[in-house]
Amino acid sequence: MAEWTPALVEARLAEAAFVLKRLPEPRRQGYFSTWPAVLHSFGDKVGQEPVPMRVLPSPQAISRMEETLTWTACLEPMDGKIVWMRAHGERWKTICWTVGMQRSAAHQHWLFGLCVISLTLNRRRFNRNLSKQRVIALAGGA
């Protein structure tokens, strides 16, 4: 990868959130059922909803997801929460209610978080005392 941009960071975070949704549920060790599998007749299946198919992610996608999970460690907790909620596809209205910000402020925190991650991945040094607008301009996220 030559250069990380905020758009590439956003795409990778969205992919990681999608992979997390597709992973199988964790199971408790040691618990099992001794009951035989129930065989349903056609009449039993008429009113039932079909069981959704789960397509497991590839090992490469899981590796990329594991790498992506550590990216928000360099962010403030509020910025990390906004970035992950947006990656999971939450609507801005829900994000604003959760974090207690207006939409414009939440969007600026989200864009700032993406820019900080891209600058960190590119190993570019920047002053942490810069304003959010300056960091966004420095990373090219505007």
Q: Which domain holds residue 95?
A: 1-22+59-142
For 89, counting Cβ atoms within 10 Å of its Cβ (0-12 exposed, 13-18 middle, 19+ buried), the class is exposed
Q: What is the DSSP letter of 54?
A: -
pTM of the predicted model as reported, rounded to 2 decimal places? 0.78
* CA dihedral over 50, 51, 56, 57, signed as positive or negative: positive
Asked whether residue 11 is domain-assigned, the answer is yes
pLDDT in tens, 3-47: 899 999 999 999 999 999 988 877 778 887 888 888 888 877 787
pLDDT in tens, 51-94: 777 788 999 999 999 999 999 998 999 999 999 999 999 999 99
Greater pLDDT, 139 or 78: 78
For 71, counting Cβ atoms within 10 Å of its Cβ (0-12 exposed, 13-18 middle, 19+ buried), the class is buried
Asked whether residue 9 is domain-assigned, the answer is yes
pLDDT in tens, 95-131: 999 999 999 999 999 999 999 999 999 998 878 788 8
Asked whether residue 98 is domain-assigned, the answer is yes
Closest CA to 114 of 132, 93, 130, 131: 132
Asked whether residue 106 is domain-assigned, the answer is yes
Asked whether residue 52 is domain-assigned, the answer is no
Closest CA to 115 of 89, 88, 142: 142
* Residue 141 scores a pLDDT above 80: no
Asked whether residue 46 is domain-assigned, the answer is no
Asked whether residue 53 is domain-assigned, the answer is no
Asked whether residue 48 is domain-assigned, the answer is no
What is the tally of structural domains in the chain?
1
pLDDT (0 to 100) of residue 1: 58
Residue 116 sits at φ, ψ, to 5 deg, of -65, -40
pLDDT (0 to 100) of residue 42: 82
